[in-house]
Amino acid sequence: MKETGFEDCTMAEDGPNDNPTNELEDSLQNSPIAKCQIPGLEYVLFVKGSGPHSIDYGVAPGAPPKEVIVSRKCAEAVLRGAQVFVPGVMACSAHVEKGDAVAVSVAIEQHGPDGGWAIGMTRGTVLQGLQTDPYYSERYGLYIGQGITKMSRAGIFRVSEGIAVDMNNRVFKLPSFHDVLEGEIFLQNLPSIVAAHALDPQKGERILDMCAAPGGKTTAIAILMKDEGEIVAADRSHNKVLDIQKLAAEMSLTCITTYKLDALKAVRRRNESNDNVTVQSSEPLRFHEEKTFSTVQVLNPEKVRNEIVSNEKENERTYVSKADIRKSNRRMRNGPGRNQCLGGRVENSKGFDPDSFDRVLLDAPCSALGLRPRLFAGEETVGSLRNHAKYQRRMFDQAVKLVRPGGVIVYSTCTINPGENEALVRYALDTYKFLSLAQQVRF
């Protein structure tokens, strides 16, 4: 950490565990890095930041600073100590070269004419740096720090990965752990670590992580199991499953098996086979359709021709939802981003047999109203909050069917919405009154 330039890297000394909470507070006051004093969590280190700090961006009359605008998610990561990576850059001043000092600000989503929320600029926009700039209001008062560019403007919008800006002066100062003990440490919020401990995994057990991406809880469970047993990590996104695989490989964990699977379809239907289908394309259905037509064509070409014409007519009448329209508009403004397949191989699963897991972790997708820092939450409405709760109940129903009698289910969210927390607890107690006898549920 000293090599990265982080100030005062002395670590707090271990002490008695009579009062872990007070001892932790005292440790963090004396050092920015402190060892967790809670029994069972001795492998956890706390890193303390500071802020907000005032920053001189070098603004002078007639000589505005060179600037970079990043996406909201990128800015939230920067506030947690990350660097600015290439995919997060939305706009940049002209004539920015490698090694230039730039002011970094965040673009906040705005309400669009289609009823959704989106960034009001196209990726690659040139910033003029003046108040007459049409995008001046996008960044006014939303600066998050200053950094040194690691590549030119042309390079930032030409490549797909890498560090674009090395943040050396932040509004909130936290150390960057990029390339620090890679594969040996993992950055995570404390509640995520506690969720893995609540599951209490044991060696040799079969455990399901229903919504596993990005894999922090999955790897935490594997470490607690000493990498002995089987952890099935599932997620509905092809790219996120690849992220889980990458993280498990970096941490040399071999007990994790990944699948692409919708948590709402986690229980296998009785008429479905046990075989998992391995695909490499991001559009497997199209592949199977073409294969079917090529096979039938040898037998009856005229019939296949009529079916193709019929399918084309049906496609002309296909209804396009508003959600698809908004997604298409965002892709046109911001480029393909991570919506496209990153390549690599993942296995599709048709689900699992009932009562086939010793423990199930359901870290359900939620409104994330409890995450900090959070720069934007305008997409959530009363209706969307209610929909989150409905989906979580359906996922919970799947978890109950998958855990064996006497097993354990852990349900967790990162929101403060009672409808997604206390209401689900009430639903579970009212719907599954036998759980206290057959299974344990921890919230």
d(C-alpha 427, C-alpha 263), whole Å: 19
d(C-alpha 332, C-alpha 340), whole Å: 13
Tally Cβ neighbours within 10 Å of residue 135.
20
Which one of 74, 211, 255, 414 is the catalytic residue? 414
Does the annotation mark 341 as catalytic?
Answer: no
d(C-alpha 186, C-alpha 44), whole Å: 10
Of 356, 398, 86, 378, residue with least CA distance to 236 = 398
Residue with tokens 């037509």: 293
Q: Let me know: does 53 contact 173? Beta carbons within 8 Å.
A: yes
Residue with tokens 């397949």: 341
Residues labelled as active-site residues? 414
